[in-house]
Amino acid sequence: DPLTVIHRFCENCTPHEGPHKEKVWEEALTAPSPTILTNLKFHQMVRAREIGKGAFSTVLLYLVTQKGKARSEWPEYAVKVIHPDVLAKYSQNISREIAILRLMPHPGITRLVSAFMYHSECYLVLEYAANGDMFDYLQAHSSGLSEGVAKRALGEVLAALDSIHQQGFVYVDLKPENIVITSTRHMKLTDFGGARPYTAEAEKEVEKSRHAVQELRSGDWKYEGSNDGSVKAEVDHFDESELDPTKMEGTTIYMAPELLRGQYPRVGRCSS
């Protein structure tokens, strides 16, 4: 039972019963849910670095720009970019992954906050776990985990798996690389590409979204925005009185209008 082993992620901590255990468990379950970004566009994101790369996708760290805030305050997301050739071959599998992620609100599971298409690629925007994955953590602690850390990790992983099973799914791909650690040292399961429904009810839910990839909205500014359909309304109706010159760089306000319209300049060469 995860309730008997959950406690603070601390090297010197030992399991506690009573109020301590209940308080920590409550904190884990009531952690703030991520904001679902239903209208997120590609040009609102700033690429920071590559997190990982596999045969079917690349996972990148992106910042989402926020007007009036410094870059250091922009929220971070792990963005899974699925390439066009993979989409063409595995559309049904990816649709299933999207459907399952949308059904998983548990705090022990990385939430899908947005999904869209851009330049024939599929972008799945997920919660970012700032402390990496359990594989890297184990590599950095070659002497092994303390009993407290091991019990904490096990408890949170079991809680997430229990939630998945209660909804009629099996996770399939449990391994250290798919257990990520948040900035507050909580565990989350990620990568649901291998997850499968095992009950009739879950199968029906997945069937409803069998065309999820084809139905994804565009992440291009050109398809949603001002009266001429070229620039997002947020830019058109920007209030100059709110302008802070120190917080413009990287936002839509800073970008050239032709980029917002999808008119990319031709790359040329010049001599010195």
Which one, of 74, 108, 136, lies nearest residue 6 by Cα? 108
The CA distance from 9 to 206, in Å, is 35
| Sequence-distant (≥ 6) Cβ neighbours of residue 94 within 8 angstroms | 82, 86, 87, 122, 193, 212, 213
Specify the amino acid at residue 226. S
Residue 80 known to bind ligand: yes
Q: What share of the chain is helix, strand, coil (3-state, %, to 5)?
A: 35, 20, 45
What pairs with residue 57 in β-bridges?
82
The CA distance from 206 to 12, in Å, is 43
Positions marked catalytic: 173
Binding-site annotation: residue ranges: 80
Please report, in range form, the residues annotated as the binding site for ATP.
Answer: 80
